[in-house]
Chains A and B, each alone.
Chain A
Amino acid sequence: MIEIIAYVLLGIGTACAIIGAIGILRFPDVYNRIHANTVVVVGGAIFLVLGAGILGGISAFTVKAVVIALFLFLTSPVSSHAIARAAHKSGIKLWPKSVADKLEEEKR
Chain B
Amino acid sequence: MTVATDQAAEASSKLSLHPMEQFTVRPLFGGTEIHWYTITNVTLWMAIAVVCTFLLLVYATRARALVPGRGQSIGEVVYGFVRNMVVDVAGEDALAFFPYILTLFMFVVFANSLSLIPMSFATTSHFAVTGVLAIAVFLTVTIVGFVRNGTSFLGLFWVTSAPFPLRPVLAIIELISYFVRPVSHSVRLAGNMMAGHAVMEVFAGFAIVLWISPLSIAAITAMYGLEIMVAVVQAYVFTILTCVYLKDALHPHH
**A and B: real partners?**
no
Q: Which chain A residues have a beta carbon within 8 Å of chain B's beta carbons?
A: none
Interface residues, chain B, CB within 8 Å of chain A? none
